[in-house]
Every structure is written in structure tokens, then in C-alpha cells.
Chains A and B, each alone.
Chain A
Amino acid sequence: MDSTLESAIRGLGTFPYEHDLYGRLEKFEDAPLLTPDMLFRYTSSHPVQESITEFGECPRCYFQTSGTSGTAKQIPYSAADLERQIDHEAQSFALAGLKPSDIVLTLASPPPSLSAWATINGSTRLGASVLNTSYVDFDAPIGVGESHRATFVFGTPLMLEMIGETCVDGWGGVEAVYPNVRQGILYGDLLPPALERRVKRLWGIDIRFLYGSVEADVIAMSCPEGDDTLHIMDQKIVVELLPENAVRPGSSAPSSADLIAINDAPAGTRGEVVVTDLYRDHMPLIRYRTGDLVEIATSECPCGRVGSRLRVLGRRANMIDLGGRILHEIEIHHAIERALGTAWDDWSAEIAGNATSAARMSLTVAAPGDPGAVGAEAIYSELLACGAAPAERPAQEALLVTFAGPRPAQGLIATGDAKAQRLTFT
């Protein structure tokens, strides 16, 4: 067993363990996988009592997931759980560079979302100040002449883009109203390079990325000295992987026997994140399948921290299998970037017959100008170089690349908030 996992479990001494959700577990290794559906069924049939704790600005005792995996779940916390959660967030924010002297603008979803609660409480635990409550009152500091004080911003990439564009419309630009914001923590499924560029252009900030979920809270965080890899916040959580082959489209349901400990996974290993948080009194999270796919990096981070790091690839539900060639969302972003440089805005794709021999993907790239056949061939070649490519090239007609005009001023190809919808499976 991985030493981090072993010490976490030994330190807790919670096994044998009994809980309505899991039954009786003699030891951690016996724990089966917990799927979002199982968690939804449990939380739906065990409604939490609102008297368990108080959330301050939130009157409830649970956080509600967004429901993008199909069903919204209510994740309950005790008061002690929440205190540990705040410490966890503060440690994560500190790793990303938030300092006690910072003054925070939060563009999180309004309370009682986890994001608003976490950004406010995690920041103040570190000693930082917070100017507002969520994106709903992002302009309140402007109205009272306080916006120049903000030095740090939180939000999803799309939220920063939308609020940035709103600042351009209303006040002439972000610089005019938030001139001293120097850094931001963005969170969500992915940080696509084109969107990162637009956010940087609008806000002029240095960006860190936080990977997490409502069920698990912060899982990993990038650091100021590092690259696009994320440090696992393993002071509180344990991460295991279901290898890519065990979760690819059409494969049989994986079990806990398929799991590999994160520190046993060689560099380049790809798989679905399975997360455990035993430091919760009310409802521990044990071997929860996040649905997120990552790649492992083991090289030393320039920041000096050791241990495996994660590179987020995309959602399992969005895994594309073109006749055995697996493609992930972030690989499409990077393939277009390598082919066209920065001369593109966004993309969408329609996949027919996914994971069959007749699978076809039609990729539409929003790009100013017309990259034409040369651009299309360049993207096609870059996509073929992604992942562990099998020898056989898919026929060009199985991977069509076309171009739309530039991204429209209002609205993206991708829509929504943290969970942009770029892929359609038919």
C-alpha cells in the first residue's frame, strides 16, 4: 500500500468502520468504489437535519452539488468537519500564493454554494480580507469606492471572462476598476489554454488552478513556481487511480481491485481519480469515483515539493475513443494550440458511434481568418500524436476538422459555467 495512504489510515484508526453508506468495513482495502449514483441514492434517502451545524452566511448544513453528473447531491458536514475543511482550503490557497495581506474578490456562485463558503472562509483563515460574497455582488466594491483594494480573485475561468467583459462594457476594463488584482485562483473541470489567455488578457493576472469538487472539496492545486501540474492536497485526502483501460468507453464496471495508489503510478499513467476523505465525522468519503481523468507527473517540481502531481485531462464521460485511439478534452485544446498557435478561440466536437469501429469525430474550431486545409491537416496530425497512439492512422473522414469564423462577441461555442459543454455524443 502507498505510504501516504497507509499513514493516513493508520493515523485515523477508524477501522473497522461502520456507516449506513458503506456498511461494515474491516479495513480500508475492503472498501468498494463509491459512484455518484450510489452517493445520490444515499443522500436522497438520508436527508440531513438542518440543526447539525450553522454555516454562518449559509443557513443549511450541507453543500449541494451542481448536478452536472446527472443528479444533484447534498453533501452534509458537521461543525468539526467544516473547521477541518477551512484549514484544508487555507493550506491549498497558501500553496497557490494567497497571502495574509491579500484582499480577495470572490466570483464564486452565491451562498450556499461550497465555492462561496470556501473562498471566503479559506481566505480569512489565512488572514486575508474578502470584499464581497460572490459574483452576484462583484460590483459592490466598485459602488463604494473599494474595488482598488482587491489584490486577488477567485472564480471559474468562464466567470472571470464574463465578469471581465462586463467590466469592459460598464467601466472601460478590469484595470479601471480592479487595478491592483495581481493573481487569481481559477477552479473547474479544466483550464483550456485559449480561455486562460482570454482571462489573462482581460484581468492581467497570474493564474493558479484548483482542481476539486463539491463532494471532495480541494483535491489538487498548482503552485506559483510550477507548470500545468497540480500538487495533491494529501494532508487531508487520499487519491487513488482507476487506470484508463479500466474506465474507457465500453469497458466493464471497474472494482476496487483495479485501483492503484497514486505514488505507485509511474509518470504518464492515466486514469480516473478516486478520492477518500476520512476526516469527516458526519459522512466520510471513501473511494469516491470523481469521473475526472488525470495523468501522473513524477518529476521534481521547481517549487521543491516532492510526490506525484496531477495533470487534469477531462471528464470520463467525455472520453473519446476513435477506433481504439483515446482522446481527452485537454488534448484537443493543446492539439489545436500546437497547430494554430494562439490564432483560435474555442472549439466544439460531435462524436458519432463513440468506441466503435465506425466512430467519427467532427471538430469545429472557431478561429479568425481561415486556416484552411493546411490548418485542418495540422490539427489532424497533432490529434494523432495525442496519448498512447496505436500504429494505425484513422481515416481522414473519421476525424473531420472544419473552421467557423471567430468566436462571437456574445457567447461562446461552449456554454455554461464551470462545466463547459464542448462535446456532443450521438
Chain B
Amino acid sequence: MRRELDTSGSLCPLPLLLAKREMRQLGSGDELVVTATDPEASVDFGAWVAVEGHLLTEHRDEAQLVFTIVKA
């Protein structure tokens, strides 16, 4: 399963909290794609996957950050 979440305009920690809520609906191996505009989101998402063991890839698309997280 693949879900998308747009948190553009939200400031940290809201993008992370919204992503965590979305992730609870997913199973192991499912993919969540999160779009964010707050540059601090990189720190939050990096710390999150480090703690919970998810797989994270991140890329910048103009002013947006796009995080792809595969649930552990």
C-alpha cells in the first residue's frame, strides 16, 4: 500500500505528528510519501526513522521536501 500526505505550510512538529498518525494505518513494507515545506522536518523525520527503524529517502523538489518512508 502507498499513501501520500501533504503537510506544506505546517511547521514542525506538525508534519511529523501527522505522518505518525498516517503511519499507524499502514502495515510493514507499506510506503508513506510526505511533502513538507519546513526545513526542520528533515531533523524530525531522520530522528523518527532512526528510533523506529523505518527506511527513509528524502529529496528536495523546488521549495518542498519529499520524504518517502517504508514502514519497518
Chain A residues packing against B (C-beta within 8 Å) = 109-111, 133-137, 139-140, 159, 162-163, 166, 169-170, 411, 415-417
Q: What are 29 inter-chain pairs, A to B, with CB distance below 8 A?
A: A109-B43, A110-B43, A110-B44, A110-B47, A110-B48, A111-B47, A133-B47, A133-B51, A135-B13, A135-B16, A136-B13, A136-B44, A136-B51, A137-B52, A139-B20, A140-B51, A159-B13, A162-B13, A162-B17, A163-B17, A166-B17, A166-B20, A166-B21, A169-B21, A170-B24, A411-B10, A415-B11, A417-B11, A417-B12
Q: How close is B9's CB to chain A, nearest CB, in angstroms? A: 9
Chain A nearest CB from B4 CB (Å) reads 18
Evaluate whether A170 and B21 lie within 8 angstroms (CB atoms) in the complex, with A110-B47, A134-B47 already known: yes
The answer to whether B14 has its CB under 8 Å from any CB of chain A is yes
Residues of B within 8 A of A (CB): 10-14, 16-17, 20-21, 24, 43-44, 47-48, 51-52
| Given A133-B51, A169-B21, 17 other A-B residues pairs in contact with their CB atoms under 8 A | A109-B43, A110-B47, A111-B47, A133-B47, A134-B47, A135-B13, A135-B16, A136-B44, A137-B48, A137-B51, A137-B52, A140-B52, A162-B14, A163-B17, A166-B17, A170-B24, A415-B11
Per the bound structure, the CA–CA distance linking A243 and B48 in Å amounts to 44
List residues of chain B with CB within 8 A of the CB of A417: 11-13
A136 & B12 in contact (Cβ 8 Å cutoff) = no
Give the A-B pair count, Cβ closer than 8 A. 40
Question: Which residue, of B10, B11, B24, has the highest number of chain A Cβ atoms within 10 A?
Answer: B11
B58 CB to closest chain A CB, in angstroms? 15
- A133 contacts which chain B residues (CB < 8 A)? 47, 51
A110-B47, A416-B11, A417-B11 as given contacts; A136 in contact with B16, CB under 8 Å: yes
Expressed in whole angstroms, the minimum distance between the Cβ of B61 and any Cβ of chain A is 23
Residues of B close to A415: CB separation below 8 A: 11
Considering the chains assembled together, what is the distance between the CA atoms of A386 and B31 in angstroms? 54
Task: Collect the chain A residues with CB atoms within 8 Å of residue B48's CB.
Answer: 110, 136-137
Chain A residues lying within 8 Å of B51, measured Cβ to Cβ, are: 133, 136-137, 140
For the complex of A and B, the 5 pairs showing the least CB-CB separation, nearest first, are: A110-B47, A136-B47, A137-B51, A136-B48, A166-B17
